[in-house]
Amino acid sequence: MALSCALRLPRWHLRPSGALLPRRDFSLPTEKKTAAKWKEKKKAREGCSLPGSSWEERLANVVTPLWRLPYQEQLQVKYENQRKILQTLTSHLEELGRDVQEPGGLCCPLRPVVPSPVVNGYRNKSTFSVNTGPDGNPKTVGLYVGTGRARNIVCVKADHMENIPPKHKQVAQCYEEFIRRSPLDPCILFHEGGHWRELVVRTTSRGHTMAIVTFHPQELGQEALATQKALLKEFFTCGPGAVCALTSLYFQESTMTHCSHEQSPFQLLHGEPHIFEEVLGLKFRISPDAFFQVNTGGAEVLYQAVRELSQAGEDTILLDICCGTGTIGLSLAHQVSKIIGIEVVEKATEDASWNAAFNGISNCEFHSGKAEAVLPQLLSSWEDARPLVAVVNPSRAGLHYRVVRAIRNCEAIRRLLYISCKPEGEAMRNFLELCCPPDPGKKLAGEPFVPTLAVPFDMFPHTVHCELVLLFIR
């Protein structure tokens, strides 16, 4: 008689709160191997590395730590990092009593890192902060060196950053010029007042540029707010900012660190409400807060691989969980019977539906809402006999345990592709939840999955990060 998961799990896997496995630090042991290495990483985060180096070098070392290495060496560093992540997963699976080790000492084969087709200036979205620069000017637009906890934040211009395209840098420079002309203060700490906050720039290969300015209203009335919006619009349409040739200019009043459109609507001040991108011959509409892979060329390579790894046929139903604007599902729509997408951002779901209609794709349906609410309800009464393949592409926070439980308990799902930009984080917990032995106490009745292949994609050249695709089957 098989032991229950509760009996076989090591002690740290048990938690009374109802989650399947605890929110545990799954960071690699090598990251904290010595105090010296930890201090070195801490100094880098706080901008204290390389004494005598310029602020620009310090910023590059923090944001793009591999920028000095030739690209092939960057790929090798990333491969070793992904190998260590798989070693960690293998070790945890063995603790669960799963005998999954392959001849190479890993739980599944690890392919070489798939390179990015574009190495420099690949980002289609950049977020710039407003804070005090190295020269003491509080109206500096750039990226942070240092930490709020250490109270040593310096905002450094991103002109030299190799992963940011020239257009983003141009818009950031113009925004800095605008706020320096403005009599209103920047909002650095909410309780200290001020108004001008971060800038988000989104671009596409079609030449479209969207700028989103975040503004803290504080105690300003509607008339004063209208004046500031008019000045911002005038600057970017008739003034020095006109050189940016913005497709869309948005303004968002926000009293929180981050606000969704539902919490505080994005206000279109100028231009078109959306920008458009093309991926694998399909046209996609992008809203201000819709998720879209930050490296468009890399996304095409990634989606082609997902298409192959899914082995989805004409009778297959594809579940696209955390689907964003529908890019993955729509890129596979022509080879499957049906696409079902789930996305928490309502505007992104609207974009996905528009994208399907515009591209003449009719075998798709998109559900707006939290995956942990939508998916269990969708799968609880699943009776369709057609093969069911799931693709999940969650944020760094990973999947909610109710989503994992719904996938585990749906016997129709025999193949699962998990796409993670941080597999050593909360995604690791998801991997273990998918693969641990059945546990009636946790309502995990379904047969466990087995990792069978890992393919890393370099979506973020010059950084240490990869997008890892893990194929699970059962």
**Residues marked as catalytic:** 421
Q: Tokens for 322?
A: 């955390």
- Beta partners for 418? 392, 470
304 is in an annotated binding site: no
170 is in an annotated binding site: no
d(C-alpha 330, C-alpha 405), whole Å: 26
293 is in an annotated binding site: yes
d(C-alpha 451, C-alpha 433), whole Å: 12
CA angle 342, 258, 322 (to 5 degrees): 15
Contacting residues for 146 by C-beta, under 8 A, at least 6 apart: 45, 46, 47, 152, 153, 154
d(C-alpha 327, C-alpha 306), whole Å: 11
Q: Tokens for 454?
A: 């890992």
- Beta partners for 318? 339, 389
Residue 269's alpha-carbon distances to 86, 187, 230, in angstroms, are 47, 21, 8
Q: What type of residue is 447?
A: E
Element (H, E) at 448: none
d(C-alpha 456, C-alpha 466), whole Å: 6
Q: 10 Å Cβ neighbour count for 422?
A: 19
Collapsing DSSP to helix, strand or coil, 3 comes out as coil
- List, as one string, the DSSP characters of 365-377: EEEES-HHHHHHH
- Beta partners for 203? 209
Phi, psi of 295 (to 5 degrees): -120, 100
d(C-alpha 187, C-alpha 215), whole Å: 8
Residue 359's alpha-carbon distances to 78, 334, 341, 355, 453, in angstroms, are 36, 11, 16, 6, 32
Residue with tokens 């009996």: 7
Known binding residues for S-adenosyl-L-methionine are: 293, 343, 393
Known binding residues are: 293, 343, 393
